[in-house]
């Protein structure tokens, strides 16, 4: 297959080339691929030439536990992570977009080897992503709807599954550590003349570092390809994840400082100070409530997710390639995460097709691309009260939501080589979206239910232009500039939650849009030193902001008329002598409301507050990750190595009035490992490691949801910082010092 064609072509909503040619030839990439900030590792040669991105190779995390995807993505500038609702449910934020989401991933589109793992309603969950399965990860930063469509206001993430040729045999490994953590995994893969397969299986369990956070999860990830002829290739992708996890309640900051790990919180009556609780209806319908701890109530998640994708690639000639794929993705959830439990099944289908041709434009070398896509999802959601008694006993039905989201559209792109040093890319995405849903809310008087039905039918048409210019005067410098845009429509569930955190009317929520500018440079003064820097300035209209009204309540989403995201991203990689490697990733992220008036009500009082020029809550202004590593390259100690890494997270506000901030934290990890290859035996090699995480045993916040401000019902004045400080529903504490060890054997 013509890999140059694949380089320029974008597969519908994703760069399909990331999988097809990832291992084809790193040396064949064109000179102007400087959009890649390939710091830490870099094997993937084919990237969309208009995108600011960082590629993270498996070598960056192969000698570490890599329990969840957040421990890997910390190496990319512009990325911040936080703990979600579950052991591997990680919230991912790119340039602050998505930082306000209470669970899962929003405003970022996610893929595995070009197959979408974001459902058509825009929600992604990282429960199914085990880093042991991947050869690398590509992080696309900035508004990206021209490339990836709906919801890509922050960018995209593509996980590159290891191919059969990379595996070439069987590998088995096990990691274990404190808090009952055990991860057993195995990989098998092989490449033949016309057939290639790779299968990954893992089972992970642990007790969790916070009380009532034990879990077990199983993941299967398979990739099979068949090449019947030189013109055709078929690829099959299968992912399945089964999750069972208990969840602790999110704390207020005051509770966090008193009892961050929720010790002594088995039963609310007589519980230790600082224990989080939720108020559950005694009869499960209405009336009196009683406080229950998470362990007492049995809060948690029991979810299954299955994805099956098929792709066909056909080359008409050396310059023209057609690609078509279809993905079926179904999610089945049972989530008693607070005072209510969400249940439901959401099946979805995603179809993409595109054609890419290498040719010319006005006598200049150019690559032409055109693609179409269609995706749809059916939501069938039920919300129940959780009753006292343990085991997440289900009470009365509080709401049902049935709906469908359908998106279809087209994308076009021209990639033109203006001269040996200059390259230009222009593109546009067009998308029509239809959102229809009906919500029925149940209210109980005694045991008698009264229902209120609310239906919506919304239609949206979005256009996302994009343009980029690249200049590479020599092998030392690569300069780039980019204009891009993004958009995202509301999720159906957002439209039916009121500011009080209960089911009701929020149907005035409108789509969010952003456009921005990137200016960047990559400097390689010598072969062993690489430095990349990117400045960005993005303007948002009607940005989605989510916040918690209180413990046990649903997160509420609202629009901010105007806001600005701006900052600087820097990456550096230096290998001063053989074996030594120093790397760093730094982000400065300044986000402010430029026009927003917040209305707060209590009792008969209503007050409007001007939040213009306030910092947008949930965003870390400064984020720095560094690593100093050494691996013995030769001699009797060849294969021995280690590293020490530091991660700094700045303090940030958690409320619109900027009254309260989450404290900053500096964390250190220390790793020692040994890799040894064998010849002439059934065992081809083995790898062992020991890592001390949070070496200084620092207490830190792993996740903080935004908290609603409030007013005094008697005076109408805004309540002070102490009220926000004591408001629950926000904080998950990070893990204390932990020692993790592991071993992997290859056959």
The DSSP symbol for 555 reads: P
Task: Check if the beta carbon of residue 295 is closer than 8 Å to that of residue 312.
Answer: no
Task: Check if the beta carbon of residue 178 is closer than 8 Å to that of residue 147.
Answer: no
What lies within 8 Å, CB to CB, of 140 at 6+ separation is: 48, 51, 52, 53, 147, 148, 155, 156, 157, 158
Counting every residue written for the chain, the total comes to 747
Q: How many Å apart are CA 523 and CA 573, to the nearest integer?
A: 11
Task: Check if the beta carbon of residue 133 is closer than 8 Å to that of residue 162.
Answer: yes
Mean pLDDT computed over every residue of the chain: 90
For 703, the 3-state DSSP assignment is strand
Burial 66-93, CB ≥16 within 10 A → b, else e: bbbbbbbbbbbbbbbbbbbbbbbbbbbb
CA 58 to chain CA mean position, Å: 18
Residue 35 has pLDDT above 70, yes or no: no
Number of domains in the chain: 1
Task: Check if the beta carbon of residue 37 is closer than 8 Å to that of residue 534.
Answer: yes
Going from the C-alpha of 643 to that of each of 445, 615, 670, 672, 740, the distances in angstroms are 62, 36, 6, 7, 14
**Confidence band (pLDDT; 50, 70, 90) for 6?**
very low
Q: Are strands 661-662 and 115-116 parallel, antiparallel or unpaired?
A: unpaired
pLDDT, tens only, 64-82: 998 999 889 988 999 999 9
pLDDT, tens only, 193-208: 999 999 999 999 999 9
pLDDT, tens only, 269-312: 999 999 999 999 999 999 999 999 999 999 999 999 999 999 99
Q: How many Å apart are CA 88 and CA 90, to the nearest integer?
A: 6
Residue 14 has pLDDT above 80, yes or no: no
For 270, the 3-state DSSP assignment is coil
Predicted TM-score (pTM) of the model is 0.90
Q: How many Å apart are CA 628 and CA 674, to the nearest integer?
A: 17
CATH number at residue 647: 2.40.170.20
Res 389: pLDDT? 86
What lies within 8 Å, CB to CB, of 580 at 6+ separation is: 628, 629, 630
Q: How many Å apart are CA 232 and CA 383, to the nearest integer?
A: 47
Name residue, tokens 């940005």.
543
Going from the C-alpha of 453 to that of each of 411, 443, 711, the distances in angstroms are 38, 11, 31
Tell me what the mean pLDDT of segment 590-605 comes to.
Answer: 92
Tell me what the mean pLDDT of segment 659-687 comes to.
Answer: 93
Res 678: pLDDT? 87
Give the DSSP H or E segment for 73: helix 70-73
Residue 719 has pLDDT above 60, yes or no: yes
Burial 166-203, CB ≥16 within 10 A → b, else e: bbeeebebebbbeeebebebbbbbebeeeebbbbbbbe
Rg over alpha carbons for the chain, rounded to the nearest Å, is 25
Res 50: pLDDT? 64
pLDDT-wise least confident of 116-120, 504-508, 647-651: 504-508
pLDDT, tens only, 209-237: 999 999 999 999 999 999 999 999 999 99
Q: How many Å apart are CA 352 and CA 116, to the nearest integer?
A: 10
DSSP code string of 440-500: EEEEEETTEEEEEEEEEEEEEEEEEEEEEEEE-SSSSEEEEEEEEEEEEPPPGGGGGB-TT
Res 29: pLDDT? 27
Q: How far apart are the first and last CA of the chain?
A: 31
Percent of the chain residues topping a pLDDT of 90: 81
Name residue, tokens 């959401």.
346
Task: Check if the beta carbon of residue 151 is closer than 8 Å to that of residue 107.
Answer: yes
Spatial CA neighbour of 365 closest among 429, 422, 427, 428:
422
Residue 63 has pLDDT above 60, yes or no: yes
More confident residue, 415 or 74: 415
Task: Check if the beta carbon of residue 309 is closer than 8 Å to that of residue 326.
Answer: yes
Res 9: pLDDT? 33
Task: Check if the beta carbon of residue 50 is closer than 8 Å to that of residue 147.
Answer: yes
Name residue, tokens 């921005």.
516
What lies within 8 Å, CB to CB, of 430 at 6+ separation is: 409, 410, 411, 461, 462, 463, 464
| 169 Rama sector, left if φ>0, alpha if ψ -120 to 50, beta otherwise | left
Task: Check if the beta carbon of residue 237 is closer than 8 Å to that of residue 113.
Answer: yes
**Confidence band (pLDDT; 50, 70, 90) for 37?**
very low
The DSSP symbol for 271 reads: P
What lies within 8 Å, CB to CB, of 219 at 6+ separation is: 128, 130, 133, 200, 201, 202, 203, 204, 239, 240, 241
Going from the C-alpha of 564 to that of each of 76, 97, 167, 584, 622, the distances in angstroms are 22, 11, 45, 26, 17
Percent of the chain residues topping a pLDDT of 70: 93
Q: How many Å apart are CA 478 and CA 235, to the nearest integer?
A: 35
Residue 534 has pLDDT above 70, yes or no: yes
Joined together, the tokens standing for residue 216 give: 């077990």
Name residue, tokens 């940030």.
652
Res 339: pLDDT? 93
Residue 24 has pLDDT above 50, yes or no: no
Q: How many Å apart are CA 640 and CA 598, to the nearest integer?
A: 57
Beta-bridge partners for 588: 568, 622
Tell me what the mean pLDDT of segment 357-385 comes to.
Answer: 95
**Confidence band (pLDDT; 50, 70, 90) for 25?**
very low
Res 680: pLDDT? 79
Spatial CA neighbour of 334 closest among 297, 373, 299:
299
Res 15: pLDDT? 32
Res 729: pLDDT? 86
Q: How many Å apart are CA 217 and CA 219, to the nearest integer?
A: 7
Res 216: pLDDT? 96
Joined together, the tokens standing for residue 455 give: 């239906």
Domain of residue 655, residue span: 3-746
């Amino acid at each position: 297959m013509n890999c140059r064609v694949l380089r320029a072509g974008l597969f519908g909503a994703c760069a399909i080339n990331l999988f097809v040619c990832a291992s084809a030839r790193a040396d064949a990439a064109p000179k102007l691929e400087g959009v890649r900030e390939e710091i830490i590792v870099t094997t993937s040669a084919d990237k969309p030439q208009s995108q600011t991105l960082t590629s993270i190779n498996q070598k960056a995390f192969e000698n570490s536990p890599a329990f969840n995807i957040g421990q890997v993505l910390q190496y990319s500038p512009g990325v911040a992570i936080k703990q979600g609702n579950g052991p591997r449910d990680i919230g991912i934020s790119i340039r602050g977009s998505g930082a306000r989401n209470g669970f899962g991933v929003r405003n970022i589109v996610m893929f595995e080897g070009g197959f979408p793992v974001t459902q058509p309603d825009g929600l992604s969950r990282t429960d199914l992503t085990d880093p042991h399965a991947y050869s690398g990860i590509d992080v696309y930063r900035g508004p990206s709807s021209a490339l990836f469509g709906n919801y890509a206001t922050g960018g995209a993430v593509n996980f590159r599954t290891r191919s059969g040729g990379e595996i070439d045999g069987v590998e088995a490994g096990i990691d274990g550590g404190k808090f009952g953590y055990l991860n057993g995994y195995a990989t098998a893969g092989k490449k033949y003349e016309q057939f290639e397969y790779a299968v990954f299986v893992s089972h992970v369990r642990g007790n969790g570092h916070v009380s009532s956070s034990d879990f077990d999860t199983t993941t299967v990830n398979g990739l099979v390809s068949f090449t019947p002829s030189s013109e055709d290739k078929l690829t099959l992708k299968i992912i399945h994840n089964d999750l069972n996890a208990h969840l602790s309640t999110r704390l207020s900051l005051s509770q966090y400082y008193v009892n961050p790990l929720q010790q002594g919180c088995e039963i609310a009556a007589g519980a230790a100070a600082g224990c989080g609780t939720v108020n559950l209806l005694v009869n499960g319908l209405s009336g009196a409530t009683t406080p229950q701890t998470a362990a007492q109530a049995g809060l948690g998640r029991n979810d299954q997710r299955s994805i099956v994708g098929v792709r066909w690639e056909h080359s008409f000639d050396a310059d023209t390639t057609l690609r078509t794929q279809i993905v079926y993705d179904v999610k089945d959830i049972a989530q008693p995460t607070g005072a209510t439990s969400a249940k439901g099944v959401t099946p979805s289908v995603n179809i993409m097709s595109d054609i890419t041709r290498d040719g010319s434009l006005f006598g200049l070398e150019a690559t032409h691309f055109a693609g179409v896509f269609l995706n749809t999802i059916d939501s069938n959601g039920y919300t129940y009260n959780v009753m006292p008694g343990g085991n997440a006993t289900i009470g009365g039905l509080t709401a049902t939501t049935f709906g469908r989201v359908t998106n279809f559209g087209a994308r076009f792109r021209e990639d033109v080589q203006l001269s040996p040093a200059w390259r230009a890319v222009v593109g546009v995405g067009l998308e029509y979206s239809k959102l229809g849903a009906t919500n029925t809310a149940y209210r109980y008087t005694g045991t008698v239910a009264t229902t209120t039905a609310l239906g919506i039918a919304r239609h949206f048409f979005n256009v996302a232009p994009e343009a980029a210019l690249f200049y590479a005067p020599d092998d030392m410098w690569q300069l780039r500039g980019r204009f891009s845009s993004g958009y995202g429509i509301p999720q159906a569930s957002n439209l039916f939650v009121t500011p009080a955190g209960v089911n009701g009317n929020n149907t005035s929520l409108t789509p969010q849009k952003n456009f921005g500018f990137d200016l960047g440079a990559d400097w390689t003064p010598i072969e062993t030193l690489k430095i990349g820097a990117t400045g960005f300035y993005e303007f948002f209209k009607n940005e989605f902001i989510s916040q918690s009204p209180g413990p046990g309540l649903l997160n509420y989403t609202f629009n901010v008329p105007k806001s600005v995201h701006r900052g600087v991203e820097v990456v550096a990689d230096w290998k001063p002598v053989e074996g030594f490697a120093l790397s760093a990733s730094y982000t400065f992220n300044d986000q402010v409301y430029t026009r927003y008036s917040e209305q707060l009500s209590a009792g008969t009082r209503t007050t409007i507050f001007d939040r213009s020029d306030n910092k947008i809550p949930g965003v870390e202004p400064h984020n720095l990750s560094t690593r100093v590593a050494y691996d013995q390259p030769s001699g009797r100690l060849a294969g021995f190595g280690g590293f020490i890494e530091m991660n700094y997270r700045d303090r940030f506000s958690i409320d619109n009035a900027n009254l309260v901030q989450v404290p900053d934290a500096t964390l250190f990890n220390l790793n020692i490992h040994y890799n040894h290859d064998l010849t002439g035996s059934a065992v081809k090699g083995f790898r062992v490691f020991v890592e001390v995480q949070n070496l200084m045993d620092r207490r830190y916040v792993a996740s903080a949801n935004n908290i609603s401000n409030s007013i005094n019902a008697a005076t109408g004045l805004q309540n002070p910082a102490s009220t926000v400080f004591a408001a629950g529903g926000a904080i998950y504490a990070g893990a204390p010092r932990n020692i993790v060890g592991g071993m992997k054997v290859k056959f």
